[in-house]
Amino acid sequence: MLRLPRTIEWKDGIVRLINQKELPDRLIYIETSDWRRVAKAIKDMEIRGAPAIGVAAGYALALFAYHWRGESLESFKRELFQAAEEVKKTRPTAVNLFWAVERILSKASQVSSIDEARRSIIEEAINIHKEDERANRRIGEIGAELIEDGDTIITVCNAGSLATSYWGTATAPMYVAREQGKNIRVIALETRPYLQGARLTAWELSQAGIDVVIATDNSIGILAMREKISLAIVGADRVTRIGWVANKLGTYPLALVSRVHNIPFYVAAPTSTLDLKSKDPTDFEIEKRDPSEVLYWKGTRIAPEGVNAIYYAFDLTPPQLITGIITEAGIIYPPYEKNIPRTLQRV
C-alpha cells in the first residue's frame, strides 16, 4: 500500500502544498489562503511537475473565488480573469496549467451569481485534482504490464507522485509493479540543476521501499552499455498531436541512447498533457529559467565569476524515438498523428 504525503491539498479556503525545494532534507509545507502565494510557488518551483502545476493553478483560482469579497458579479469575473492571466504567466511549458485555468474560466462564464461562481470554481478545481489522481492510477496499472520481475528501469527528472496529485506518471507503473510483487530497480538520473531525480524521485521511491540508485545525467551512455536496463519511462510536460514530447532536460539524450541500445523508451502522461492544438515543437514555448539556478547551488557559486550559463528547463524528444505513450486511456503507439485520438482534444 503506497503511503506518500499528498503533494497538494485543499481545505476550506486553505491550500497546503509540499515545498519541494526543501526535500529531501525537510518535509515542510506551504499553507496559504492567498492565490498569489500559490502562483509564486509554481513560478519558484516550490511545487512543480506538469499535473501538479495544473492542480495548483486550479486551486489558486479557487482561493481567489473563496476569499473574494465584492458586490458585483461583473467585477468578480473581471478580477478573476486578471488573476488567471497572472497564474498563466508563472511557467510556459506545462500545458496542464493552461488547460486547468481554461476549465476554471469556462465554469465562471456560465454562472449568474457570485455564490454560484464560488461554488462552481471550487468544485471544478477539486475535480481537476481528483481526475488527475484517477488518471495516474490507471497509467500505473497499464504501465505495470510492461514491467517484469527483476527489471531495471531508468527515468529522468521527477515524474513522480510529487509531480502530480498522487502516484506520479512515470513512477505510477513502478508503484503498481511493486504492489504486484515485482522486484524492480530504478535508476534515477539526478537531473541538474534542480536535481528533481536525486532529490525528489530518489526520496519518494525510497520512501516506498523501491530499490533506487542515483546516476549523473552524463552517465547514460555507460549505463546503457553496462547496467542491463530493461526500459526507460519518463514524464512529459506537453505532448503534441504528432508525438513531440517536451520534458525535462536529459529526456532527449536518454531517448537517443535508448534507441541505440534497443531500450524501450516510454512516455507516461495523462491525456490532460496531450496538447492537440500543437503539432511541432515550435508551436509552444520552451521555458528558459534564470541562469543563476545553474551557476549556484544552495547559495554557493559553482562557476567562475563573470561566466554566465544557458538554462533551458526542458528539451524536446521527436516521436520517432518514443516506443509508446502510456496514458490512462491506454498505450498510444506510433504513428502518433494517426493514433492520438482526436476525441482527447482539450478545451
Residue 48 is a binding residue for ligand LNRAV4D5 (CB under 6 A): yes
Q: Is 49 annotated as a binding residue?
A: yes
Choices 61-69, 156-164, 215-223, 323-331; region in contact with ligand LNRAV4D5 by CB under 6 A: 156-164
φ/ψ of 159, rounded to 5, equals -110, 50
- State how far the Cα of 302 lies from the Cα of 227, in Å rounded to an integer: 30
Contact with ligand LNRAV4D5 (CB under 6 A) among 23, 30, 51, 252:
51
Total residue length of the chain: 347
Q: What's the closest the beta carbon of residue 345 comes to ligand LNRAV4D5, in angstroms?
A: 20
Q: Which one, 147 or 163, has the nearer CB to ligand LNRAV4D5?
A: 163
Number of Cβ within a 10 Å radius of residue 280: 11
By CB under 6 A, which span of 32-40, 44-52, 116-124, 217-225 interacts with ligand LNRAV4D5?
44-52
200: number of Cβ within 10 Å: 27
Q: Does residue 165 belong to the site contacting ligand LNRAV4D5 (CB under 6 A)?
A: no
**Is 50 annotated for ligand binding?**
yes
131 near ligand LNRAV4D5, rule: CB under 6 A = no
51 or 92, CB closer to ligand LNRAV4D5?
51
Is 316 a binder of ligand LNRAV4D5 (CB under 6 A)?
A: no
Contact (Cβ atoms closer than 8 angstroms) between residue 238 and residue 273: yes
- Amino acid at residue number 129: H
In Å, the largest CA–CA distance within the chain is 67
Selected from 15, 163, 232, 257, the binder of ligand LNRAV4D5 by CB under 6 A is 163
Q: Which of 15, 57, 108, 159 binds ligand LNRAV4D5 (CB under 6 A)?
A: 159
Catalytic residue positions, numbered: 237
Between residues 65 and 239, which has the closer beta carbon with respect to ligand LNRAV4D5? 239
Stretch that binds ligand LNRAV4D5, among 31-39, 59-67, 213-221, 235-243 (CB under 6 A): 235-243
Nearer to ligand LNRAV4D5, 247 or 323 (CB): 247
Nearer to ligand LNRAV4D5, 55 or 122 (CB): 55
Q: In what order do the strands lie in the sheet with 238-240?
A: 274-275, 238-240, 245-248, 314-317
Contact status, residue 172 vs residue 136, Cβ threshold 8 Å: yes
* Distance between CA atoms of residues 274 and 289, nearest Å: 23
Report how far residue 83's alpha carbon sits from residue 117's, in angstroms, rounded to the nearest whole number: 15
Give the residue from 101, 99, 98, 92 showing the smallest Cα distance to 35.
101
Q: Which residues 6+ apart lie within 8 Å of 5 measured at CB?
A: 18, 27
- DSSP assignment of 42-84 equals HHTTSS-SHHHHHHHHHHHHHHHHHH---S-HHHHHHHHHHHH
Residue 232, marked binder: no
Q: Specify the stretch interacting with ligand LNRAV4D5 by CB under 6 A; choose among 26-34, 48-56, 126-134, 205-213.
A: 48-56
- Between residues 307 and 310, which has the closer beta carbon with respect to ligand LNRAV4D5? 310
Contact residues toward ligand LNRAV4D5 (CB under 6 A) are: 48-51, 157, 159, 163-164, 169, 196, 235-237, 247-248, 313
